Amino acid sequence: MLTALFHKLLRMPNVMMRRFLLIPLIIVSLALTIMPVGSAATQLSAQANAQNRSAINDRSAEITPEELRAAYLSNVVQYVTWPNESVRQQLTIGVLGNEAVYQQLISAPILPVRGLRIDVELLTRPNMASDVDILYIAPGASHQLNSAFNATRSRPILVVSEHSPVREEMMINLVSGSQNRLAFQVNSDRIQDSGLRSTLDLLTLRGNELELAVYARRAYQRLAQLQSEHRELQENLTTTQDQNSQLLSRIEVLEQTIRERDNVLRAQQGTLEDREQVMESQQSALRDLLNELDQQRQQILLREEQLRQIQQTLRQSESLLAAQQTELNEKEQQLRQKQLESDDLAERITANRNVLAVQQQQLRDQRNALDEQLALLESRERTIDRQRLYLWAIGAAFLIALILAFTTVVMFLNKKKTAGQLMFALDELHEAQDKLVESEKMAALGNLVAGVAHEVNTPLGVAITGTSMVNDRITVLKEHLTQGNLTREQLTNFLDRSADSLSLTQKNLSRVGALISNFKQIAVDQMVAEQREIDLRGYLEEVMSTLSIELRRAGINYEISIPKDIRMVTIPGAMAQIITNLVTNSIRHAFKEPGGELRLEAESIEGNQIRLKFIDNGAGMNNETLTQVFDPFFTTKRNEGGTGLGMSIVYNLVRQKLRGDITVKSEEGKGTTFMLVLPKSL
């Protein structure tokens, strides 16, 4: 608008009027141009001061529960490994029931872990959890716990719950402590069953280390904010410098215009006195305008001084940013120290594994002894074959004896002598059969011992580690007490960490006690052939738990689908040996590759009986194998150590000891089903 008015004045024909109106227009234009420069500089200075005050206040702010949970979720990724990380580019954290924790997670960048970037999603329904890798279930979504567990079952998803009452399904359960602390419970078996692998460092992610993680997230958040504010200040500074350049250019144009007008005025000077007076007044006005221009230059110099102050403020902000980066490096050094302590724990666990290797060598020695007994049995089989040939020869001689009387008497005496030898061989055969049955029992008991030893060593290792950590902390505490520099904070930290370690030790020792109790009951059942009442589902779960290590080593999953109200009076040792032989048979013959499944089903039928089914989805059997599966010494793995007695023993135990019946159905490529019909009471 001012530019259009300026051009109209330049085109006016009346020179005196044009000069009279041109000077006020120039003054107004200069004032309107300089005003934004001063306001922009003032605004930049105020923003810099506010940023400095905000940086000081953030460092002294108290840690909120949402920050603790966000720090735990962003750091737990480092101690858990997913099975398909080599073909992935990112991991996703899902938050269910707490939007404040989600806001904390996205407020600061999360550094990549093992080359995978970390993404965060806010979930509104449990069925959305199938697309995430870590699921956090807040107390506000506790009514959706069962749905969330069902949605994540059999998938590699780490579920982090809070105050969860469902102990069997939970993996990591957070518990709010005093003084704004965060404790947690870890179910390592549930984590491994889902296909995940966790390190022992997961157990140390609490207390001061978690607070360091919170401060690190604050530092990253503040770093991102300072970088954003730095870019904004740079843009404002550039804009202000451009405005100043435009203002200087405009002043030069106005000065040039004034000089041209002055030259025109000097050229048009006349001899008339009134024109001379007008010119003198115009020159006076021009001098006033020049003075005013000098004042505007002074104001521009003042604005440049303010810009230099803003640049100094920016340098101070950069210094503060460097100080926070130094503090972040110190915290990373503390985290590396924690990592060294975790490596020490790993060495102790390695020592415990060496003890387990010695126990496994003892089991291999027992298996070698069993192989020697099998070799002895084969030699006796050859003796029986030779005796069968003797029987054929005796039969031929008996026919000849019918013709000749004298020959008949002689052959009768020979037959009597040979019959005595056959009876002696038959007794030896029965004795060998009893020994083989006993060997199969010992082999099953050996598998049971191996499984229980592996299951017991893991919680025992954790308990030993927790106890050693308490002893180390007691030694450090004694040193501080002896030196007289023990503080309340050190004593409080010792009590808190010792309580956590002792709680972890107690839980793992309780688990060891339960495993040993199950092992004792099943071992007694296999060695004592007495009748007692059992809960069928519970007893089969105990038997399968002792075989779980062999099943996991072979990559086989199992499922027990039996009602809880089925009880029966039977011989538990025989039942345990039957299930053990069926599982061993499936591992050796049904599955060539990992990924198989076993299923146990049972139901009550007429006649006060129970129908028990053992089903696998393995390779199945052809008709020739199916007809000989229960024959003694029949096996398809004889060159691989098979004896052919496992299924024969199962058949005899079902028919003779348990007084039931067993049948088998199988097709090649469609699996095998063993169906047992047993009485509820013997």
- φ/ψ of 252, rounded to 5, equals -65, -40
**What count of residues does the chain have?**
682
| The pLDDT of residue 617 | 92
| Contact in structure between 190 and 170 (CB atoms under 8 Å) | yes
Q: Which of 127-141, 460-474, 596-610 has the highest mean pLDDT?
A: 596-610
The span from the CA of 239 to the CA of 245, in Å, is 10
Least confident of 80-94, 251-265, 480-494, 523-537: 523-537
| Contact in structure between 676 and 660 (CB atoms under 8 Å) | yes
Angle at 283 between CA 279 and CA 287, to 5 degrees: 170
| The pLDDT of residue 366 | 67
- Token couple for 150: 């069902």
The span from the CA of 386 to the CA of 425, in Å, is 11
- What share of residues in the chain are helix, strand, coil (percent, to 5)? 70, 15, 15
Q: Mean pLDDT across the chain, nearest whole number?
A: 76
Residue 105: C-alpha distances to residues 66, 108, 119, 224 (Å): 9, 6, 9, 14
Q: How many CB atoms sit inside 10 A of residue 306's CB?
A: 18
Q: Per residue in 61-117, pLDDT tens?
A: 677 888 888 888 888 888 888 888 888 888 999 998 888 888 888 887 788 888 888
Q: For the chain, what percent of residues have pLDDT higher than 70?
A: 71
- Token couple for 96: 């269910």
pLDDT interval class at 334 (50, 70, 90): confident
Query: What own/partner pairs with CB < 8 Å and gap ≥ 24 does 358-363 have?
Result: 359/453, 360/450, 363/446, 363/449, 363/450
| Contact in structure between 660 and 679 (CB atoms under 8 Å) | yes
Q: Per residue in 432-445, pLDDT tens?
A: 655 555 555 555 55
Q: For the chain, what percent of residues have pLDDT higher than 90?
A: 12
Residue 273 pLDDT exceeds 50: yes
| The pLDDT of residue 131 | 83
Residue 578 pLDDT exceeds 80: yes
Rounded to an integer, the average pLDDT of 224-247 is: 80
Quickly list H helices, 126-272.
145-152, 188-193, 208-267
Between 451 and 245, name the one with better pLDDT.
245
| The pLDDT of residue 600 | 95
| Contact in structure between 166 and 149 (CB atoms under 8 Å) | yes
State the CATH class of domain 528-679.
alpha beta
The span from the CA of 400 to the CA of 358, in Å, is 65
| Contact in structure between 643 and 650 (CB atoms under 8 Å) | no
CATH 3.40.640.10 is the classification of domain 83-195: yes
Sheet holding 172-176, edge to edge: 117-123, 90-96, 134-137, 158-162, 172-176, 182-186
Rounded to an integer, the average pLDDT of 466-494 is: 82
Element (H, E) at 654: none
- Token couple for 24: 């006020």
| The pLDDT of residue 360 | 67
Q: Per residue in 547-561, pLDDT tens?
A: 887 888 889 999 999
| The pLDDT of residue 664 | 95
The span from the CA of 147 to the CA of 161, in Å, is 13
Between 477 and 397, name the one with better pLDDT.
477
Burial class (CB in 10 A: 0-12, 13-18, 19+), 648: buried
Strand partners, 583: none
Q: Per residue in 37-74, pLDDT tens?
A: 344 444 444 554 554 444 444 444 677 888 888 888 88
Rounded to an integer, the average pLDDT of 182-194 is: 81
| The pLDDT of residue 58 | 47
Reduced to 3 states (helix: H, G, I; strand: E, B; else coil), residue 171 is: coil
Rounded to an integer, the average pLDDT of 197-214 is: 74
Residue with token string 């404002």: 236
- Token couple for 209: 């280390």
Residues 6+ apart with CB under 8 A from 350: none
Residue 562 pLDDT exceeds 70: yes
Rounded to an integer, the average pLDDT of 594-623 is: 92
Residue 450 pLDDT exceeds 80: no
The span from the CA of 183 to the CA of 207, in Å, is 8
Rounded to an integer, the average pLDDT of 180-191 is: 78
Tell me the whole-structure pTM to 2 decimals: 0.33
pLDDT interval class at 616 (50, 70, 90): very high
Residue 146: alpha-carbon gap to chain centroid: 19
Domain-wise residue ranges, the chain: 2-54+218-354, 83-195, 404-525, 528-679
pLDDT interval class at 183 (50, 70, 90): confident
Residue 601 pLDDT exceeds 80: yes
- Token couple for 518: 């199950």
- Token couple for 535: 């809960």
Residue 447 pLDDT exceeds 60: no
Between 501 and 568, name the one with better pLDDT.
568
| Contact in structure between 307 and 42 (CB atoms under 8 Å) | no
DSSP 477-527: HHHHHHHT---HHHHHHHHHHHHHHHHHHHHHHHHHHHHHHHHHHHHHHHH
